[in-house]
């Protein structure tokens, strides 16, 4: 499944200084960079997709326990577990499925569920803002020059890629990265 960027070029342009207009070439570059920044955000979020996905299908491996944890959050609905009736399992309203029939999750289990955030939700807006900020830094400083000075020592470094600042990465981890996917009993 290909997920799009959290922000559009129009979202980015709204955050640029009013006197900064993007050329056609810069708009194409910005679109690519917004996609890259969105992938970086998803990676920092523990590979959470963040964007809403309805009726996603995932194959999970059971390890002979009663509880199965779904990998993407927030879980909005669980519509089916292949090979089981609705009376044989229960969704806890969070990210866990529990067997109700006395059996354990074993082998491959195919689950159909909806997860993620709508674009108007505050946490999604945080991802949008961080993606725009990462790209804005690249566009406003295309050579990616960074300098550091302590007393009489100074150094200047060129960075070949856009990246998240430490505070942005921490915000993403706090907002989206949860416990590792596991099967518990």
Q: How far apart are CA 43 and CA 20, in angstroms?
A: 30
What is residue 184's predicted lDDT score, i.e. its pLDDT?
39
C-beta separation of 139 from 27 below 8 A: no
Pick from 108, 110, 114, 80: nearest CA to 95: 114
- In whole angstroms, what is the distance from residue 88 CA to residue 34 CA? 43
Domain ranges of the chain: 9-49+123-165, 53-115
- Consecutive 10-residue runs of the chain (185 residues): their mean pLDDT? 91 94 94 95 94 96 91 96 96 96 95 97 95 90 69 64 83 77 39
CATH hierarchy code of domain 53-115 = 2.60.40
Phi/psi of residue 90, nearest 5 degrees: -140, 135
Say which residue the tokens 């295309």 belong to: 142
Residue 123, number of CB atoms within 10 A of its CB: 13
Q: Which residue has the tokens 């990246």?
A: 163
Judge whether 128 and 7 are in contact, CB under 8 Å: yes
């Amino acid at each position: 499944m290909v997920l799009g960027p959290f922000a559009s070029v129009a979202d980015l342009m709204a955050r640029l200084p009013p006197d900064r207009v993007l050329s056609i070439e810069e708009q194409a570059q910005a679109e690519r960079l917004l996609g890259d920044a969105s992938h970086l955000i998803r990676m920092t979020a523990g590979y959470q997709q963040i964007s809403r996905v309805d009726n996603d299908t995932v194959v999970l491996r059971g390890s002979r326990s009663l509880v199965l944890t779904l990998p993407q959050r927030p879980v909005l609905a669980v519509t089916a577990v292949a090979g089981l009736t609705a009376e044989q399992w229960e969704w806890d309203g969070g990210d866990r499925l529990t067997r109700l029939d006395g059996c354990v999750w074993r082998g491959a289990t195919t689950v159909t569920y909806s997860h993620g955030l709508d674009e108007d939700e505050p946490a999604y807006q945080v991802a949008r803002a961080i993606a725009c900020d990462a790209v804005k830094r690249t566009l406003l400083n295309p050579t990616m020059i960074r300098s550091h000075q302590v007393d009489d020592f100074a150094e200047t470094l060129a960075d070949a890629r856009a990246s998240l600042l430490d505070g942005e990465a921490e915000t993403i981890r706090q907002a989206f990265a949860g416990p590792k996917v596991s099967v518990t009993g």
